[in-house]
Amino acid sequence: MRELAQRHGTPLYVYSAATLAERFAALRAAFGAAAHICYAVKANPNLTLLARLHRLGAGFDVVSGGELLRLQAAGLPTDGVVFAGVAKQPWEIAAAVAAGILFFNVESPHELPLLAAAAAGGGRPVRVALRLNPGVDAGGHAYISTARTDTKFGIGLPQAGAVVEAIAREPRLELCGYHVHLGSQVRQVEPYRLALDRVCEFVDAAAVRREGITHYDLGGGFGIAYGQGEPLDVAAVAAAVLPTLTARGWRPVLEPGRHLVGDAGILVTAVLGEKRQDHTTFLLVDAAMNDLLRPALYQAEHPIVPVVATPLPPRAVDVVGPVCETGDFLARQRPLPPLPRGELLAVLGAGAYGASMASNYNSRCRPAEVLVDGDRAQLVRRRDTLPQLFQNEVDLHEA
């Protein structure tokens, strides 16, 4: 790790190809060969990781035209792509129709005329699944809980019947499935079972809701441990939903993001110094909320460990970065030993929603990213350069 940090600098994201492959294999074993596992690109959209996941057998879940373009830029097939998103734009729909994706997850009635127009332009019907909002609270932080009826996601069951009928009336659209995404970092099996039960109840209420249905997309959200408690038991989720899906002839579609890449990544950061203020000891490091937003945004806790173990006794410290926000912390009151300047810390479980949510706030460069595969370490994203941060800004002399 020291060598990688020396070669590429810090903060640095480091990913493990072995963990990625292990996680994918476990999900495949749980859900079987028939399941279509669509990696949620938003979790980490690095092109090399996308190519790796494709080689492992993944399709992809995208939520924007930009994510679709990433797949195309990586030269990956798009016929196994599902496209969700509550506010899809006309150009995104047109691009996905042209790319021949597997289906759209429709979650707002405004999409239907756009989809029909794109289908007319493409000269063939477009396959859609309806994203239902089953009103299930799957726990976790409110910002990542998506299947309660007070969120913007999906179509509530009382309104969904009319949307199914509108799709059935439009000859250029084919209803092929239903989609539910409960939210992220779900640790209980029960919400997956409950959501499927509610969808079945909805579907059984009218023949038009059943015709042509071939897929059930149970979304992603499979929780990981982040050093506390247990990860979601994916085999138990499979056991809870597969008998119903098999009986109905619906192919399972999964959209895991965090579960595949979260534990496959760490963020390596160097100690800059230490300061004591009032009753708090602050360990100052070179990674900040712009590199890893989750602690500031969701009060998320990531395990943090010294890269080289030290015998010195730990004391509680706030691990904070250089960004000018009180909310800029990686951890609060975390037991860590005293560490001299330049010593490295690893923030664990940082592969998902780490690099993908990184920003240039405070005019900071987003970190470099490295993929380790056996004894090979490959740079898969260069660190931003400072001139890149303002290269799109208007010419000062013309403004």
Ligand X SMILES: Cc1ncc(COP(=O)(O)O)c(C=O)c1O
Residues labelled as active-site residues: 324
Q: With left for phi above 0 and alpha for psi between -120 and 50, is residue 186 left, alpha or beta?
A: beta
Distance CA 355, CA 332 (A): 21
Task: Spell out, one character per residue from 77 to 116, where the chain touches ligand X: x when CB under 6 A holds, - when not.
Answer: -------x--------------------------------
Q: Which residue in the block uniquely carries the two structure tokens 């015709």?
A: 211
Does residue number 154 form part of the binding site for ligand X (CB under 6 A)?
no
Tell me how far apart the alpha carbons of residues 192 and 205 are, in angstroms, rounded to a whole number. Answer: 20
Binding mask 353-392 for ligand X (x = CB under 6 A): ----------------------------------------
* Distance in Å, CB of 298 to ligand X, minimum: 12
Cβ distance to ligand X smaller for residue 240 or 352:
352
Looking at beta carbons only, is 117 or 357 nearer to ligand X? 357
Minimum gap (Å) between residue 171 Cβ and ligand X: 27
Q: Which listed residue (177, 219, 295, 349) binds ligand X by CB under 6 A?
A: 219
Q: Residue 8: exposed, middle, or buried by beta-carbon count in 10 A (0-12, 13-18, 19+)?
A: buried
Q: Does 40 interact with ligand X (rule: CB under 6 A)?
A: yes
Nearer to ligand X, 170 or 222 (CB): 222
Give the three-state DSSP class for 17. helix
Q: Which is nearer to ligand X, 144 or 336 (CB)?
A: 144
Q: What is the CA radius of gyration of the chain?
A: 23
Strands 315-320, 280-285: parallel, antiparallel or unpaired by DSSP?
A: parallel
Written as one string, the DSSP assignment of 287-328 is --TTT--HHHHH-----EEESS---SPPEEEEEE-SSS-TT-
- Site track 164-203 with ligand X (rule: CB under 6 A), x = hit: -----------------x--x-------------------
**Using rule CB under 6 A, residue 24 touches ligand X:** no
Selected from 61, 92, 111, 170, the binder of ligand X by CB under 6 A is: 61
User: Smaller CB distance to ligand X: residue 107 or 174?
Assistant: 107
3-state DSSP call for residue 130? strand
Strand partners, 60: 39, 81
Q: CB 87 → ligand X: shortest distance, Å?
A: 13
CB of 258 to ligand X, least distance (A): 4
Taking CB under 6 A as the criterion, which residues in 248-267 touch ligand X? Answer: 255-259
Do the beta carbons of residue 71 and residue 38 sit within 8 Å? Answer: no
DSSP code of residue 143:
G
Residue number, 151 or 214, with CB nearest to ligand X: 151
Round to the nearest angstrom and report the end-to-end CA distance of the chain.
Answer: 46
In the block, residue with structure tokens 């708090």? 280
User: What are the residues binding ligand X (CB under 6 A)?
Assistant: 40, 42-43, 61, 84, 181, 184, 219-222, 255-259, 352
